[in-house]
Structures are given as structure tokens and as C-alpha cells.
A and B are shown apart, each in its own frame.
Chain A
């Protein structure tokens, strides 16, 4: 079964510093990967997605992610973070079920805390 691993439960970083949030997925023939952001007591908002093509994907709010097939990774990066980036970030993969439908599998999340 497909799975997603987010190795860091919490990442503290100072404002204007770069950040990388790590995500690894279990290997599959076709991979569709996503990063979402969640602010307190709200739903999830899509940051970016990888479907095919260029391995470097750019998203909203200055975030980008790189798909690495050999390392089965999809790490999220931002060169300079702001206080407003403080939130929880989820990596997800879309997977085919035994009934022929699709579902989304999420990692356990990484809480990014930006310090002044």
C-alpha cells in the first residue's frame, strides 16, 4: 500500500531563513504528489502538486518542491520564510484502490514555527 512519511513533526526556523520540509513516499508506477498547508482550526489549502514533467514544482506563497524519483522524495522548500508561514504542512499522495477508485494518503504533518 502507498504511504507517505514526514520525518519531522516540528521545524522551528528564524524569520527570513530558508526552510526544507521533508517528505518521502513509497514507490509506485505512477505518482501524483501534493503539499497542503493548514492554519489553526481551518481546512487544508493546496500549496503545489506534482503530476508529471518538470521535477521542480513552484507553488503559492513562494514555496517550491522537487520530485526525486530515485530517492522517492518530494521535499518542500522556501528560500526565506515569514512569520505568516507558521502553520502545519501536509504531504499527500494519490493512490489507486483495489476497487478501481482513487484516494489521497496523507503524512502525519510537519508543524513549521517561524521565530522573530
Chain B
């Protein structure tokens, strides 16, 4: 199985801050890494696919990057609507399709 290690588990930040969330994969994903946003009581929403491609309708303050087996989600100029939990997911292999443990982004 491909293991995904996501950090930090909790992140406190203020409106206007720039934050970074990281996921490390146990093996190469060939870029097949997605980021999802989930708000309490709601379904996850696809933000980023193929490591760095922004899904339709997602604000441009969200971005993703890849360096080997390390993947990063960056949110520039945090908005009140961005406080949520974020998950990475590898979809390179149904070995299974694993999610990271999640990062809860809280208001400082």
C-alpha cells in the first residue's frame, strides 16, 4: 500500500495569512495527488488535482506543488471561508486510493 503522511494535523492562522500543508508519499505517485477541502457536516470538495491543477471554480489563492514524493498545498491570503479540514489523496494506484490524515485549519 502507498502510505500518505500529512502534516501538520492542526494549523492555527489568521485571515490574510499564507499557510502551507504538506503530504509525503511512500513512493512515486507520478503526480496523481489531489487535495480536498471539507467543512463540518459537508462532503469533501476537490480543490487540486494532478498535484498542481486548480479545479474549476476554486479561487486562485489555492495552489499545489510537487517535489518528488512531497506535495504541498498553499493558501495565500486566507479568507474566513477557508477555515476547514484539508486532505490529500493519492490516486496513482488502487492499492488502495489512500488519504492523508487531514489538517484542520483553525482561526488563531
Are A and B associated in one complex? no
Q: Which residues of A contact B (CB under 8 A)?
A: none
Q: Which residues of B contact A (CB under 8 A)?
A: none
